[in-house]
Structure formats: structure tokens, C-alpha cells
Amino acid sequence: MQQQALPRHIAVIMDGNGRWAKMRGLPRTDGHKQGAEVFRKICRYAADIGVEYLSFYAFSTENWKRSAQEVDAIMDLLRHYLNEMEEREQENEEGGYRIRFLGAREGMPPDIAHLMDEVEERSKDKTRMFVNLCVNYGGRAEIVHAARALAEQVQRGELSPADITEQSVSDLLYTAGQPDPDLVIRPSGEYRLSNFLIWQSAYAEFYYDNVLWPDFTPADFDRAIEAYRNRDRRFGNAK
């Protein structure tokens, strides 16, 4: 079996922040803070080894059901991260990340939605690595959004239902223009996709790890990539 090349696109479900904090007798918010630091570390490492696209599941549409205290803490962390990006312009230039936020802006605090727009605009010409942050994101909601857009095109007479293809749908997803994930990593010992990039991950390889996200290291990232490189990817073809 020929070894796979480095994945072009790696998607990560950042899971286990709350459990990490609970195990240490700390507030759940401390777990999210530590998880944010790991996010930065993995971004730098992935860029250094040549990953082209990196997607993170940061806040799902279902996460609004958590306690108001926890949701507010996560929003404050996101607000802090976005403001920090504005302040660290030189570091951002060196990082070379093009940042995109995938998910619905509706329902987000207005100041955060505005900061998201600003960060995307400032980083639009960066090419070293594309970083997708999935915030207020749900895979099913994303597909519904694309379906509605296609229905509107049909209603306007711009498209025939018979002409709708998989590519038509892909072109209306938040990830339009990007390659689908090659590898999906989920730390924390959970074995499910949790509504994350469900269309795009149809042929992704999955890697599950018992390490909680706040303890996740570049060495863990390397192990996931090594596992991927030793998989036999057939895409439905018999070999």
C-alpha cells in the first residue's frame, strides 16, 4: 500500500474542555481558555509542517443550549481572540493565515459579528494557510442554507431542478472553493461527528483520540497524520 501524502485539509473537533476543567476542580471556563491556547499552538504547528487548510469546530448551533454563564464565557473568549488579532498585526503578517468564520452570523453578538467581518477582510490576501473557525455552525443547517439558495434559483428560473448536482450544492456551502477535509480529528474519547462538516466529510478519514483537547499537543497531531498516511483511501473503488 502506498503511503498517503500530507493531508491538504484537516478538520478538528475541539472537544473535552469542560471535562478537562472538571477533572481539575476548575470552572468549565478555564477549560475553554486552555483549549484556546491549544488552538493557537496547533495552528502554528500545522502551518509549519505545510498543512494548507485547517478547520476547527469552535461553537455549534447546539451549544447555545449550554448554561448562559458558559455561553457568555465562550463569547468573551472569542471576542478577546478577535480583538487580539487586531492588536497583533505583525504576528498575523508572519503567521500568514487567511481566516474564515463558517456558520450563521445571525444570532451572534453584533460586536463579534463585526469583528469577524474585519478579521476576514484583513486576512483575505494571506496564503500560507487557510484557517476555518466554525462558529454558530451546524452541518445540517449549512445544507438547508444551500438547499434554500438552490430553490430560490429554481424559483427565479435561473436553474432547472434536473441540473442540480453535487457540485451545485458544494458551491453554496460555507466551504465553497476549498477542498473537502482529508482527515477529521476528534480528541476526548467521543466517536461521533456531531453535525460537523457532514457533507464535506463524506470521504474523510477519521481519527479518534482519548486525549482531551486542552492536553492535545503537536505530537498528538503528528500521530493523527501518521495514522491517516497509513490508511488505504479507495473512495468507493475496489482495489
Three-state SS for 45?
helix
Query: What integer best gives the mean pLDDT of the chain?
Result: 92
Residue 4 lies in a domain: no
Q: In the block, which residue shows the cell 462558529?
A: 135
Burial of 239 (0-12, 13-18, 19+ CB in 10 A): exposed
pLDDT tens for 204-221 read 999 999 999 999 999 999
pLDDT tens for 153-198 read 999 999 999 999 999 999 999 999 999 999 999 999 999 999 999 9
Q: Hey, which bits of 125-235 come out as E strands?
A: 129-137, 183-186, 205-208
Candidates 63, 76, 83, 215; catalytic one: 63
Would you say residue 88 has pLDDT above 80?
Answer: no
Per-residue model confidence (pLDDT) at position 85: 75
pLDDT-derived band at 89, boundaries 50, 70, 90: low
Q: In the block, which residue shows the cell 497583533?
A: 88
Query: 190 lies in which domain range?
Result: 9-138+180-229
Would you say residue 239 has pLDDT above 70?
Answer: no
Give the whole-angstrom CA distance, residue 230 versus residue 233.
9
Residue 50 lies in a domain: yes
Residue 189 lies in a domain: yes
Residue 2 lies in a domain: no
Residue 149 lies in a domain: no
Candidates 15, 180, 182, 209; catalytic one: 15
Is 111 one of the catalytic residues?
no
Residue 93 lies in a domain: yes
Residues forming a β-bridge with 185: 12, 207
Residue 237 lies in a domain: no
Residue 168 lies in a domain: no
pLDDT-derived band at 17, boundaries 50, 70, 90: very high
CATH assignment at residue 22: 3.40.1180.10
Is 15 one of the catalytic residues?
yes
- For residue 206, the one-letter residue type is F
Instruction: Count up the domains in the chain and report the number.
Output: 1
